[in-house]
Amino acid sequence: MTVVREITRQLPNERILYFGDISRCPYGEKDLETVRAYTIQVAEYLVAKDIKMLVIACNTATAAALEILRERLEIPVIGVIGPGARSAIQHSRNGKVLVLATSGTVKSNAYPDAIMRLNQNFEVTSQACPAFVPLVEELRYKDDIVTGIVIHQALKAHMHSDADTVILGCTHYPLLKESIRRYFEGRKAVIDSGYETAREVSSMLNYQKILRPPAGEVTHTILINGDSSRFKYILRDWLPELKYDMKEIELKV
């Protein structure tokens, strides 16, 4: 939903069909083969609903299935790793980057690979932060004391590292962006992949000449695979202004 927030802010005329795989999340601690199967299934389900672009708003799913889906689908497919990697290269002054991500994304080596394809002179360090997702999902990130403890335990080894740029390599982590920035005392640029992904969506839609023209109030569609009750609470907290219709569905591999 952090990616949705940025897309709706930057592209207020676009209608979003969002799929939340609540019953099978989190993806970040699952093996990549399982995540790949889930992601392909969800993509095929959404394409059948006549979408014009697919945004994989999950770093682990992007690492697992982006290239396969680009080969299979006839519509543009955007992941969250490439935009974040390019932004980190633009922001870094010394060529040293720290990636904070789930275990699955770290194991995939997706961010180091994406950065090294563009600039082999960069040095990339990755850190799995498994405690960050439940911190956000359970809305405990609003407690500064709890958040401070969790961030310190995860990042203390990097407090004084040479990396001058940090990539938030999970779409949950932007909710912790300011806390992470403060932890590093402003010495490191913090890259929000959701923000960068929305910029890429905008550029691609414009290039393809498929931007939706202004047409009054926009209502989005949210499909939840599983129980939507907790998701509604999170939506009220994260995106209180979002106009949407929500429906629970059942999708199993």
List the catalytic residue out of 56, 58, 97, 136.
58
28 is in an annotated binding site: yes
233 is in an annotated binding site: no
Element (H, E) at 224: strand 220-225
2 is in an annotated binding site: no
**What are 151-157's contacts with CB under 8 Å, separation 24+?**
151/176, 151/179, 151/180, 151/183, 152/183, 154/100, 154/127, 154/129, 155/100, 155/127, 155/129, 155/180, 155/183, 155/184, 157/127
119 is in an annotated binding site: no
Q: Is 129 a catalytic residue?
A: no
102 is in an annotated binding site: no
13 is in an annotated binding site: no
Produce one character per residue of 214-241: b if its CB has 16 or more CB atoms within 10 Å, e if not: eeeebebebbbbbebeebeeebeeebee
247 DSSP 8-state letter: E
List the catalytic residue out of 7, 114, 154, 170.
170
Q: Cα(85)–Cα(35) distance, rounded to whole angstroms?
A: 21
Binding residues for substrate, as ranges, are 27-28, 59-60, 171-172
The annotation places the binding site at 27-28, 59-60, 171-172
Active site residues: 58, 170
